[in-house]
């Protein structure tokens, strides 16, 4: 972590704002509006939510959605304890009762029953229906629903229904500019500016190299990993290969072509 940061910043997760996202999040929190963060993987959506929850002084409850997650897992279930049947809240119910920021990461991955269960939380009702225990839970004032969605992931397979999308205020994220990404790498890893610049130069080349046919382009997360390895003393070209190139492709000629691009930067 960068030694020059102030105490207030040290208590918050490190986040480098890139547009008006902080003001928008604060307005949504104040107006009790649900927020959908759209953007490719590794561009800073989750870090932004961590930062904003801490900045607002609210608890953050994160659910990584996947296709095995059921509404029961999220809302709660009856369990047997010491011979008694007791209701046990799931993470969504806990967030609603406690006034937390609930972050549904990759909401498009969730099963339809999960999405339907959170719908009443997204409108004026701000309620959760627990059919199994015949209870309606009304969200406290501080409760905020935030979801993320990668529009470029498995296009066509995991789409969010328009009726769900229209329930959220939407904020698009993308990879930062080279200058912003240099700051992010330095703030996150304490790497030298020259290293950060070379990594973002490599990212620029790879993100624009359509001929490589990559399914996904390198994310800020991969650059952070490479910067950490270099900071730990790993040779830069090897760090680029293991942290940036190999995670993106298994095709040997493509790996070679990408390593050649890395050699132009380092
Ligand atoms: P996403 O949720 O979009 O998949 P993350 O929030 O996990 O991505 O971001 C991946 C990593 O990239 C973070 O752990 C952090 O190191 C870095 N990062 C990306 N954007 C920023 C930013 N604006 N400020 C600080 N760190 C960032």
ipTM: 0.99
Contact 243, 202 (CB under 8 A): no
Q: Whose alpha carbon is nearest atom 18 of ligand 1?
A: 44
72 & 190 share domain = no
Specify the DSSP element, H or E, that contains 254: helix 252-265
SS3 61: strand
Q: Which of 124, 149, 172 is the last residue of a domain?
A: 172
Confidence band (pLDDT; 50, 70, 90) for 9? low
Task: Determine the pLDDT at residue 151.
Answer: 85
Determine the distance separating the centroid of ligand 1 and the alpha carbon of 8, expressed in angstroms.
20
pLDDT band at 161 (very low <50, low <70, confident <90, very high): confident
Residue 1 in this model has a pLDDT that exceeds 50: no
Does 109 reside within a domain? yes
Q: Which has the closest alpha carbon to 204: 179, 235, 224, 183? A: 179
Instruction: Measure the CA–CA gap between 60 and 12, rounded to whole angstroms.
Output: 13
Check residue 216 and give its pLDDT: 87
pLDDT greater than 50 at residue 106 = yes
Cβ contact 90:128 at 8 Å: no
Is residue 157 domain-shared with residue 50, that is, in the same domain? yes
pLDDT tens, residue by residue, 170-226: 999 999 999 999 999 999 999 999 999 999 999 999 998 888 888 888 999 999 999
Give the per-residue pLDDT at 139: 97
Do residues 216 and 40 touch, judged by C-beta distance below 8 A? yes
Is pLDDT above 90 for 2? no
Ligand 1 centre to CA of 194 (Å) is 20
Cβ proximity of 101 and 94 under 8 Å: no
Cα-to-chain-centroid distance, residue 194: 28
For a mutational test of ligand 1's pocket, the pick from 9, 14, 41, 42, i.e. the residue with the most ligand atoms closer than 8 A to its C-beta, is: 42
The rounded mean pLDDT for the chain is 92
pLDDT score of 64 = 96
The candidate with the shortest Cα–Cα distance to 188, out of 228, 217, 222, 219, is 228
Does any ligand 1 atom lie closer than 6 A to the CB of residue 14? yes
Whole-angstrom Cα Rg for the chain: 21
14 within domain boundaries: no
Q: How far is the CA of 225 from the centre of ligand 1 (A)?
A: 11
Cβ of residue 184 lying under 6 Å from some atom of ligand 1? yes
Per the structure, how many domains does the chain have? 2
Q: Domain limits at 159?
A: 21-172
Pair 124, 166 in one domain:
yes
């Amino acid at each position: 972590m960068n030694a020059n940061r102030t105490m207030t910043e040290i208590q918050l997760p490190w986040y480098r704002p890139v547009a008006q996202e902080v003001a928008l999040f604060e307005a949504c929190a104040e107006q009790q509006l649900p927020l959908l963060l759209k953007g490719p993987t590794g561009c800073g959506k989750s870090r932004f939510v961590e930062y904003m929850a801490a900045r607002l002084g609210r608890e953050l409850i994160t659910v990584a959605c996947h296709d095995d997650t059921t509404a029961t897992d999220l809302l709660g279930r009856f369990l047997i304890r010491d011979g008694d049947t007791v209701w046990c809240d799931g993470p969504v119910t806990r967030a609603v009762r406690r006034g937390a920021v609930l972050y549904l990461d990759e909401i498009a991955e969730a099963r339809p029953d999960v999405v339907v269960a959170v719908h009443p939380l997204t409108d004026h009702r701000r309620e959760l229906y627990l059919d199994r225990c015949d209870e309606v839970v009304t969200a406290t004032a501080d409760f905020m629903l935030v979801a993320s969605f990668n529009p470029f992931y498995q296009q066509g397979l995991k789409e969010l229904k328009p009726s769900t999308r229209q329930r959220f205020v939407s904020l698009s994220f993308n990879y930062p500019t080279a200058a912003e990404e240099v700051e992010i790498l330095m703030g996150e890893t304490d790497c030298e500016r020259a290293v950060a610049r070379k990594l973002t130069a490599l990212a620029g080349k790879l993100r624009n190299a359509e001929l490589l046919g990559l399914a996904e382009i390198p994310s800020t997360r991969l650059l952070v990993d490479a910067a950490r390895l270099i900071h730990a003393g790993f040779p830069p070209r090897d760090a680029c290969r293991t942290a940036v190139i190999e995670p993106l492709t298994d095709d040997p000629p493509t790996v070679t072509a990408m390593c050649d691009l890395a050699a132009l930067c380092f």
